[in-house]
Structures are given as C-alpha cells and as structure tokens.
Structure 1
Amino acid sequence: MRKATNAHIQAKRLLENCGLDEITDLDMDLFIAGLDAMLIEEELSNCDGKIIFGNSKAVIKVNSKIQFPERKRFVAAHEIGHLIMHKNMQLPDDTFANFNIIEGMENALKNGKQELEANEFASELLMPESLFYKEAKGKKFSPLLIKQLSERFKTSLTATIFRYIQFEQLHPLCLVFIENGKVRYWKKSDSLIVWMGDYNRLSPPSDSVAVEYLQNNYDFIYKLEEKAQTINKSTWFNLNQYEEDTPFYEYCIPTRRYKTILSIIWED
C-alpha cells in the first residue's frame, strides 16, 4: 500500500482507541453514539450526507433514500471522518460526487482535500488495511473477488474497488469514472504500464463495455460470471507503433440513480 496518510492514521487510531480490529458487525448508530455524536437517517433533498456540529454534540445525517445499506455505512463513515478531522472547518453537504473522488482528483471539487481525507478515513475504518490485504492477497482478480470482499466488509462494490487499487501488491488495475456519459477522471496502479487515451470529458470509446451500459440505460446487462468482458488493449490505451494489441478485460459497475459507470480495466 502507498504511504499512510493522516486520514489512514486517524482511522487506525480511532479503532485502537475503541479496542477494535474492525467495525464490520457493529451498527453504525451505536458506534457513532460512542463518539458522543448522533446518527439520523432522514430524507435529504440535495445530498447523501451531512454533519452538523453543535456546542456539545454533533449530528450525522444520512439520506434515507439511499437504496443500499453498504452505501449508507460508507456515507456515515465519511461523516465520522469529518467529525474526527474537520471540526473547525466550513464543510458543504456531501453529494454523491464527493464519495467518488480519488487521490489526485480532489481539485475537481470545492473542499476537495477534506472530501478526499474523509473518503480515505472511511475506507480505512470500514476496510482496515491489514484485514483487507489478508483477504485479497494471492487471489485472482475478478468481479467475483470484489463481490466477496464487499460482502466480507459490508461495503459497496465501488468503495471496495477504490480500496483494492490502493494496494500496489495486488493485481494492477485502471479505473475510469464516467458521469452523464462522459469520462470524468481515471486512475491506474503504478505497476500497470499503459498510456491512457485522451478521453477526459469525452464519451468512452465506442468498443468499450461502458458504452454497452450507456446504451442499455445503466442496466446490469451481464451475469456475474460474464461481467469481465474481453476487450482490446487499444480500446482504452494508446499503443506505440511496435506494440501488439493484446487482450484486456473490462468490468463495469453502473449506477442508474446517479448516471455513473465505474469501469475497471486490467490484463490477466
């Protein structure tokens, strides 16, 4: 894994101070109550989560309209990150986009640094480094592995993928985040030696799996064993004049509510 950040250190310290190795089987409302704060689920019109700092207690709100409990857990953990690290800062309400920024992309959002830190904190809190690596090491990368890891830590597929790519010792990946039909940003493992095509703010390539999901209105069009579709290296990456166009794989996680697709691309 890359060098530990302050957010990772703070999350590890919180677990240690609570005498816990992980919080996978704890209800988030009880854990937050132990931090002298309160968790409330209610319908929020323009955001997925927010934190309100009071004189003596903080209130963490999570949008009750969020469909999946795993996502609610990550939103709550993200707000705990704000509680621990950003008490004296002016913070905006947390929208879906805030939960998807990754290192190097934080400048795309107002308060991006704080949002990145809160995401890193949540990731470490819900998927502790040593436990996650133990579960993932030595296993062939596949959509099934990500599903198994997400079930083990009660996290969303998206959060699990973002956690996986933080470990350079694991299988190298490239992640491409697509919003409203346009590539918003991408990130790859350092050990994946490829040159990304110029797709920022453009539609994904016509022969990509992502385009299939766009054409099918973000429906899950492949069963689990079919989610890893074969593509050409040249679909997403530039080739030099001497380079062979070898097979790669692409696996997509669509979210119709937010009109997003996360494409995961790798070589076997």
Structure 2
Amino acid sequence: MKTNNRGKNKATEILEEIGFDDVTELSNQELVNGFGIIFISEPLDNADGKIIRGRTNTIIKVNSSIPYPEKIRFVIAHELGHYFLHEKMEIHSDNVKTLNWFKIENQAKRGLQEFEANDFASELLMPEKSFKEFITGKFFSPSLIKEISNRFGTSLTSVIYRLISLDINPLLVVFITDGIVRYWRKSADLKGWVKDVTKLPPPNDSVAKEYIDANYDFIYTGNEKAQEISRSTWFKLYDNQKDNVFWEYCIPTKQYKTIISVIWED
C-alpha cells in the first residue's frame, strides 16, 4: 500500500499550534475537549472507537470496556487523526482491524486513511523529538517497550511500530494471526535476509510457535519474556555465516489469535 507523511505532518502542526512538546499531561477528556470535540466513554458494540461529525459539533466515542488505558489513549488519538485529516468522514467506527498497524497495509479500500490516522496518533502521542530524547542511551529490551508505553501513555503495539518506523533499534517485527505470518518489517540496520515466512506458519524453533502451541496464553514473564533463539530461526544463513545468538519477544492476544513477535541480535 502506498503511504505518505500526512498524518505525521498534521500531528506536528497541531502540537506546534497548541504549544506542547507532547500531550502526556493532558487527560483524555482535556485532549479531546481542547479541540472543541465532545468526548464520550461508553460501551460500544463491535467497535473500539467512533467519530461522528455533525454540522456544528463532532463527537468522539471510545469503548469503555477496553481494559487497557494505553489502548484507550491510542484509540482516541486515532479518532483525532480522522477528525483532522478526513473531513468527508461523517460517521466512522474503528476496531482491531483498522487500528492495527500490522493489518492496514493489506486493506485496499480504507488502508490509506487508517494508516494516516495511526501515523497521526503515533506522532501526537510520541513526538519524534521527545521519543528519541527519552530512549537515548537505553538498550533495547521488553522492559524498554513497557517503559516507553508508561512514559507516553500509549499501547505496546504502537511503541513497537514507532521504534521500527523511526529505525532507532535494529529490529525485525513479525505480525502473526491465526497461526500464519501476515506481515513483517525489518530495520535497515539489522543485517541479513529474512526467510520466506509470509503466509506460512512461524518457524518451529521460534518463540512465536511456542505461543501458538500454548493457545496464545502467556508462557513467559519477567526477565524470561526475551527468549534466546538462533539467527537461523528467522534469517537465512550464507557461506559459513555464524549462527549467532538472537532474541525473540512475543505479545500474544488470545481474543484475536494474534502475535506480535520482536526479534533482535544479542
């Protein structure tokens, strides 16, 4: 899918207009109401977020049943992206399919608009300058993802995508749903050729495969979240290339049968 920088550029423009380096200190209500939009938190059927644009007022709704405040925050920012970028969008609902960074590239009809809204949300919640300043000098690990999530108040998934889209750490990120690899993205600084894994089950010796076999239950916690694997698990080896130590960290979602797998070199 062809992408652009409209979302990022608009979020940067908005931050400059309101005079904030980032919006971390603003509550959800303040963030939405500050733009003259009505904010409602209530149970929603088959939706995580919704925007309703009327002649005089706009309403943003978020599903109060979402258990994670960081996800709620990202949903709100995504709907704000639609508000600022897609004026012709009068009524629109978002769910796991449209909010997921790793699915929208396969959507022909609404993919670009959802990418732009996600890109807007990413820059609004994690402005590039503040984001880079916060992680400077810190080594990558699962605890760093959580630390960033806590600092900026946004979801783990959005943090992972932010890290790889800004090419800050040498990472391979793989999105798996229903036991099949649907999408992967590699940082330019992570050298090597990824195996042909798209539309196939993850490798048998991968941590992702362990989570599938465990029916997407959490099987590793604490310091064990990062599991040691070999380069050859996900990468091709060439001409006596050393099969060095890599690490794999997975975030499974049992409800949707998805896994986000992050792979990096020791």
TM-score of the alignment, normalized to the shorter chain, above 0.5: yes
Structure 2 CA distance for partners of 1:90 and 1:196, relative to 1, 3 Å: farther
Structure 1: runs of 5+ lacking an equivalent: none
Find the aligned partners of 1:38 and 1:123 in 2 and give their Cα distance: 22
- Residue equivalent to 1:155: 154
Q: Report the RMSD for the aligned CA atoms in angstroms.
A: 1.8
What's the secondary structure of 2:246's corresponding residue?
strand
* The one of 233, 248, 254 aligned to 2:252: 254
- Residue equivalent to 1:244: 242
Find the aligned partners of 1:91 and 1:205 in 2 and give their Cα distance: 42
Give the CA deviation at 1:244. 2.1
Q: Aligned pair 1:81/2:71, yes or no?
A: no
- Residue equivalent to 1:36: 36
Matches within 5 A, 1:82-161: 82-89=82-89, 92-101=92-101, 106-161=105-160
TM-score after normalising by structure 1: 0.92
Structure 2 CA distance for partners of 1:258 and 1:56, relative to 1, 3 Å: same
Find the aligned partners of 2:47 and 2:108 in 1 and give their Cα distance: 15
1:59-114: CA deviations, max 9, x gaps? 111112211010000000000000000011477521212222359x6243531001
Give the CA deviation at 1:146. 1.1
- Residue equivalent to 2:5: 5
Find the aligned partners of 1:194 and 1:59 in 2 and give their Cα distance: 47
Find the aligned partners of 2:257 and 2:91 in 1 and give their Cα distance: 25
The runs of at least 4 aligned residues of structure 1 exceeding 3 Å deviation read 89-92
The question of whether the paired residues in 1 share the 8 Å contact of 2:99 and 2:114 is answered with yes
- Aligned-partner residue type, residue 98 of structure 1: T
- Aligned-partner residue type, residue 43 of structure 1: P
Find the aligned partners of 2:192 and 2:18 in 1 and give their Cα distance: 43
- Further displaced range: 147-156 or 94-103: 94-103
The question of whether the paired residues in 1 share the 8 Å contact of 2:230 and 2:245 is answered with yes
Structure 2: runs of 5+ lacking an equivalent: none
- Residue equivalent to 2:22: 22
1:151-194: CA deviations, max 9, x gaps? 111112111111111222x2210100111211110111112122
Aligned residues: 263
1:119-171: CA deviations, max 9, x gaps? 01001111111111011122111111111111111112111111111222x22
How high is the sequence identity, in percent, across the aligned residues?
Answer: 50
- Aligned-partner residue type, residue 42 of structure 2: E
Find the aligned partners of 1:182 and 1:152 in 2 and give their Cα distance: 32
The question of whether the paired residues in 1 share the 8 Å contact of 2:53 and 2:90 is answered with no
The question of whether the paired residues in 2 share the 8 Å contact of 1:143 and 1:224 is answered with no
